[in-house]
Amino acid sequence: MIDSELPCSSTCLEGGPVGEFHGLGRSPARRCMPVGEWPLIDRERWHTGLREGDFLDGGPRARLRSITNSKVEKGYGRFLTFLLHRDAEAIDVVEDQTSPKVVLDYVEQLRTFGNSKATLLSRLQELHDALGVIYPEHDWTFIRTVSARIRRTAQSHNGKRARMVSADDLFALDVRLMTASKLQATPRLAAIMFRDGLVVAFLALRPIRLKNLAELMIGTTLVRAGDNCRVVLTGAQVKNGAPLEFEWPKALNSKLCQWLATHRPVLIKLRSRWARPIANALWVSSHGSPMTKQALYDRIAEVTRMGFGNSINPHLFRDIAATTLAIYDPDHVTIAAPLFGHRSFATTEKYYEQANTIEATCRYQKQVRTRRRAAVARGRAGL
């Protein structure tokens, strides 16, 4: 049985400072406070910063993409949650409470929760950008100073290399899941296992971003094209603003048909207090709702953890795809750029460099093993 979508405290690995579990491995201290819960002055000034207008009277963030502004909102909401749990009254005087010491304490909490160097820098950038709009009269350069210190001293989080497997291994795991779904005791469990296998098999072949994966809608972003389907994402839906369109993997054509005809209808019929209208959402949860980004993230991490011993988060599929191309088909590695929706190969090139490191390490280890075997053989021969 592979089903941990329902709230469960017994499998949680981490509790926050307030001591309660909220979902798989999450605590209320990690919550990104929504804009609607921000202090009134913060909320009003932020909305003013987003207000559209001409060059002179438009808000400073009006011309930025909504996904970019949403990211800053989440980052600032995360900081407000930190303030709230640190001192409930501090949230009403954010400008006065946001001192260098408080920011350093915030960074330390993020580290305690296991956030990587890249995440620390992102959170600080989001905090700086939000405060610059909400309290522009204040000097927030000390946040950049903290970021610079982290860049110099914090070690990069290289744990992902240890968790990386080949794209072939990912695809094989998920085909096994879809096949094993036939052995499940109930149609619901079979549908959940088949769905999980199809989601991860699709990502192994088409590693799109988690947001776009959750937004796949039948007839809109997943459309029929002859005997196959195509994924069609507009510029507004893609991170870099460039439209992305590609064919559904042919290897998964029959599996998609099976999901739509047999398993998805089973989950659509389920109802619980969490249920929301399905509409044309491709992915359906175990309680009869469209799967959110977080639900998809949790299922992907759980399935891969059970299959490989370490969880593989959705973004790591992109590393795996580019690295697999670089190692096994270096002459065509540049196709990774359009595969990911990157405007140029420069964005993708870091994965090629990582692949060179991995390949060099493998060759070195192979040479060491060969020399050791030769030494053992000479010893046995008495040479």
Q: What domains can you pick out in the chain, each with its CATH number?
A: 31-157 (no CATH), 162-314 (1.10.443.10)
pLDDT at 241: 76
Q: What is the pLDDT along the chain (383 residues), one digit of tens a residue?
A: 333 333 332 222 233 333 333 444 457 888 999 999 999 999 999 999 998 876 566 788 988 888 889 999 999 999 999 999 988 887 888 988 899 999 999 999 999 888 888 889 999 999 999 999 999 999 999 999 999 999 888 665 555 555 667 677 777 787 788 888 888 889 999 999 999 999 988 988 888 889 999 999 999 999 988 788 989 988 888 776 778 888 898 888 999 999 999 999 999 998 777 678 888 999 999 888 999 998 999 999 898 888 888 888 888 887 777 666 655 545 444 444 455 554 444 444 554 444 444 444 444 444 445 655 666 676 666 65
Integer Cα distance of 26 and 13 in angstroms: 8
Among the listed residues 215, 244, 252, the one whose alpha carbon sits nearest the alpha carbon of residue 342: 244
CB 304 within 8 A of CB 201: no
Residue 336: count other Cβ atoms within 10 Å of its Cβ. 24
> Order of strands across the sheet with 222-225?
222-225, 228-233, 244-247
Q: In the chain, what's the furthest Cα-to-Cα distance?
A: 87
Integer Cα distance of 298 and 12 in angstroms: 12
pLDDT at 275: 73
Q: Which two tokens stand for residue 248?
A: 């559904």
pLDDT at 77: 95
* Stated pTM of the model: 0.60
Cβ-in-10-Å burial (0-12, 13-18, 19+) of 344 comes to exposed
Cβ neighbours for 214, distance < 8 A, ≥ 6 positions apart: 283, 290, 291, 292, 293, 296
Residue 192: count other Cβ atoms within 10 Å of its Cβ. 26
